Structure 1
Amino acid sequence: MAVRVVVTGMGVCAPNGIGLVAFGHALQSGMSGINFQPELKELNFSCQIAGKPNVDAYNLNDYFTNVQLKGLNASGVVYGVMAGKDAWQDAGLSANTETPDWDSGIVFGTGILGVDKFREAIYKVDQGNVRRLGSTSVIQTMASGISAYLGGMLGCGNQVTTNSSACTTGTEAILMGYERIKSKKAKRMLVGSCSDSGPYVWGGFDAMRILPRNYNDSPAKASRPMSATACGFVPGSGAGALVLESSESARARGAKIYGELLGGSINSGGQRNGGTMIAPNSEAVVRCIRTAIKESGITPSQIDVINGHLTATTKDPLEIKNWSIALGRSGKDFPYVNSFKGLFGHCLAAAGSIECVGSLLQFKLGQVFGNLNCEDLHPEIKKVVDASRIPQKSLDIAPQIIAKASFGFGDVNACAIFKSYNK
């Protein structure tokens, strides 16, 4: 019998809401989490706004021991642990304190981890104070530090690893965990991704001049996916986490189920035929979407909602065109489309996982969430999709199947298909 994979727990640490309740409310109501960052102004950034989770309002002792907090200077680790432990608890699971849980594993990705800690270490080494680095500098700066933290905190004894594929990282991690359960190598997988915050992460993008420079006085209006006046993505940070589980295991323990992951696809455009380090190969994007649909055992006509990558750059119209080609749908026949980046910016390696949590909340809340800042829909998009399919405010329409895609630097793609759960 084929293994069905369901989502039994979720956690999120996002710029516009930490925890499922706050995050869901923000998505429903269109509440922005993008704010002016004085530090960026002091450092002469052109774009002085960003999406950054407000973890200062939380007691980190609820997530870390005093020993773990000593010398902790890696925002991605903080975001990832908060989201991951919340997801585990939300799934009704507890940390295994005696022996490893051989049936539970972790795939938790990141783009860069502990960049502030790494900077701190560089200064100490250059000053000849290598002995003052502390015992946690390595684990805070190695990419797999986030999965190592979570693996030890939860006692997971199955595969515990980290992936990294730029903006595709989060969605890729989810599909990697899915494959592990489908192949019967694990019963449960905590999957997700995180991204550090701060100038040392965002500076390169500011230097590339692909961030909006004219909204420093009006941050909430800056991130404009699918808009005619979009002028670059707003950098963000945070973490999203999901507990994937075989439906047999979930039913056996009476777990609640947010939705079913039907399948997905991961590929690359090879940086050929229009694909580059920073731009997608359209043929590869179309292939990724079509393969995800085929692997999920559905037809394109069954997709109710697309949660796109849609970063508020000049590539948004091309993404919509690629979706139309892949699905063979256009106009009023097109699925509803939303991009959460209008609300909290582009959270880089954390984007896919945070947005997957948001996508699944649409099942739970029985709504299609609206889009912020695209009241002036791009004319090239209007040629493909009827404006009614890109709602400005949340709609009381309960979706049944949602397609979520992420496309990243390096011409890499991932698409996951989620379904409202039916026994």
Structure 2
Amino acid sequence: MSSTNRTVVVTGIGATTPLGGDATSTWEGLVAGKSGVRPLEQEWAAEQAVRIAAQIAVEPSEVIPRPQARRLDRSAQFALIAAKEAWADAGYNETSADEGTVDADRVGAVIASGIGGVTTLLDQYDVLKEKGVRRVSPHTVPMLMPNGPSANVGLYVGARAGVHTPVSACASGAEAIGYAIEMIRTGRADVVVAGGTEAAIHPLPIAAFGNMMAMSKNNDDPQGASRPYDTGRDGFVLGEGAGVVVLESAEHAAARGARVYAEAVGQGISADGHDIVQPEPEGRGIAQALQNLLDRTDLDPAEIVHVNAHGTSTPAGDIAELKALRKVFGDDTDHFAVSATKSMTGHLLGGAGGVETVATVLALYHRVAPPTINVNDLDPEAEANADIVRGEARKLPVEGRIAALNDSFGFGGHNVVLAFRSV
């Protein structure tokens, strides 16, 4: 098919997160303002400075058969669970390509991870040291590959239009969805399964992030530790899980009578060019991503009523993002209901953009913005730049076409903004 500029829609959603084992329970937890953060009970946690995390609510062992699970890194397990839910939610099944329900040559998969199979790598190195060469699993390499989750999802849906794995730290999941939108828009595919996954709750990543002073050490109050925009915020809380959406061309979805959650309007991407870990303090790179989004799509700023912010609960990053919104949209930001759902899920790193896209799409579909919890003392700079949804979920306009943004940023200065619109 020649290059086109086709409309892209969301027809399926799936998730497994610290709030629930599927998209429905995750959404219910978000709207209720539920925290998924709890103390780490593993023996190794006792010597860590950070002893809290947002662990998955439903273990993959309860969903995936043991023989299959043994061949998958934890990050791939999460991705497959979320992808299966999204694929079924879109009206497909594992044999859809074989049945002719969908043309496999026109199906793609783009699943990202910021770190990849880190638990497999580190665990198998321990096996090598403690038990010897012969005990290392022969499945180690396909398990630790960063493209392992995407490859396994691609195999599940029979994708042959392309299987890809963007890696851009905490912006990875959003970049994957943006890439998938372009695959459909430019005619490479009709259907793409896209999202992000991460499974990095392990002693080494926690020690490393902790020593960087990037994570909250509020071990005595796990559920209150992730507090974006609060004056007492002291870093993010590590989370795990996956979020996946099924994207289709509007024509393909209409031809099969699919339910449509929202239109995927497009993406804006930029880089800070500032520092490997610190955000540019005035949000210039973020502002450029926002402007690129407006320049490349037909999005009308007046349509935007909701922003699912990156909001990690770090002192510098939270404010830079809000400054960027104000810089690009000016007084229009006064009617943006800004939610930082990491206050409930923790920070899923490469999986964040996937889970938060699911949340953004459902916010439009149900016309409700989830709250940002744990904001007991709102930072004056946050208050000056944005309307933060606090305490309780907020209803969005019930009439007319509305739009929402999902912001994701990552170490290395990666900035990705996704836009969605009601249908």
Pairwise same-fold verdict (TM > 0.5):
yes
Work out the CA distance in 1 between the residues paired with 2:19 and 2:69: 24
- Name the structure 1 match of 2:68: 68
Residue pair 1:101, 1:157 contacting (<8 A) in 2 also: yes
Instruction: Report 1:329-340 matches (<5 A).
Output: 329=331, 333-340=334-341
RMSD: 2.1
Q: Which deviations, in whole Å up to 9, do the C-alpha atoms of 1:268-324 show, x marking residues without a partner?
A: 1222xxx44332362221111011123221232321111111111112122211110
Residues 1:184 and 2:183 are matched in the alignment: no
7-16 vs 295-304, which moves further? 295-304
Match of 1:244 among 247, 254, 261: 247
- Name the structure 2 match of 1:125: 128
Work out the CA distance in 2 between the residues paired with 1:244 and 1:71: 28
Give the C-alpha shift of residue 185 in structure 1.
0.7
Residue pair 1:51, 1:236 contacting (<8 A) in 2 also: yes
Q: Which deviations, in whole Å up to 9, do the C-alpha atoms of 1:19-66 show, x marking residues without a partner?
A: 1221111011101111111227644111211111123386334xx5x5
Work out the CA distance in 2 between the residues paired with 1:328 and 1:15: 35
Work out the CA distance in 1 between the residues paired with 2:44 and 2:75: 22
Give the C-alpha shift of residue 327 in structure 1.
0.8
Give the C-alpha shift of residue 380 in structure 1.
1.4
Match of 1:116 among 110, 119, 122: 119
Work out the CA distance in 1 between the residues paired with 2:43 and 2:205: 12
Give the C-alpha shift of residue 413 in structure 1.
0.3
Work out the CA distance in 2 between the residues paired with 1:394 and 1:69: 37
* Paired AA for residue 68 in structure 1: Q
Q: CA distance change for structure 1 residues 71 and 151 in 2, over 3 Å: closer, same or farther? A: closer
- Name the structure 2 match of 1:29: 32
Q: CA distance change for structure 1 residues 94 and 230 in 2, over 3 Å: closer, same or farther? A: same
Give the C-alpha shift of residue 128 in structure 1.
7.1
Residue pair 1:117, 1:137 contacting (<8 A) in 2 also: yes
Work out the CA distance in 2 between the residues paired with 1:189 and 1:330: 33
* Paired AA for residue 16 in structure 1: L
- Name the structure 1 match of 2:277: 277
* Paired AA for residue 352 in structure 1: G
Instruction: Report 1:9-408 matches (<5 A).
Output: 9-39=12-42, 42-56=45-59, 59-61=62-64, 64=65, 66-70=66-70, 72=72, 74-96=73-95, 98=98, 101-126=104-129, 129-199=132-202, 200-213=204-217, 215-271=218-274, 275-280=275-280, 282-315=283-316, 316-329=318-331, 333-385=334-386, 389-398=388-397, 400-408=402-410
Work out the CA distance in 2 between the residues paired with 1:151 and 1:258: 22
Match of 1:412 among 369, 392, 414: 414
Residue pair 1:52, 1:197 contacting (<8 A) in 2 also: no
Work out the CA distance in 1 between the residues paired with 2:410 and 2:69: 32
Q: CA distance change for structure 1 residues 253 and 330 in 2, over 3 Å: closer, same or farther? A: closer
Residue pair 1:280, 1:412 contacting (<8 A) in 2 also: no
Work out the CA distance in 1 between the residues paired with 2:365 and 2:12: 12
Residue pair 2:12, 2:89 contacting (<8 A) in 1 also: yes
User: Percent of counterpart pairs with the same letter?
Assistant: 29
Q: CA distance change for structure 1 residues 192 and 91 in 2, over 3 Å: closer, same or farther? A: same
Q: Which deviations, in whole Å up to 9, do the C-alpha atoms of 1:355-403 show, x marking residues without a partner?
A: 11011111222212111011311011222335xx533211222471101
* Paired AA for residue 338 in structure 1: S
Work out the CA distance in 2 between the residues paired with 1:217 and 1:40: 18
Work out the CA distance in 1 between the residues paired with 2:48 and 2:130: 28
Q: Which deviations, in whole Å up to 9, do the C-alpha atoms of 1:152-191 show, x marking residues without a partner?
A: 2221111012111000001100000000100011000000
TM-score normalised over the length of structure 2: 0.91
Residue pair 2:109, 2:193 contacting (<8 A) in 1 also: yes
Runs (5+) with no aligned partner, structure 2: none
Runs (5+) with no aligned partner, structure 1: none
Q: Which deviations, in whole Å up to 9, do the C-alpha atoms of 1:235-262 show, x marking residues without a partner?
A: 1111100001000000111111110011
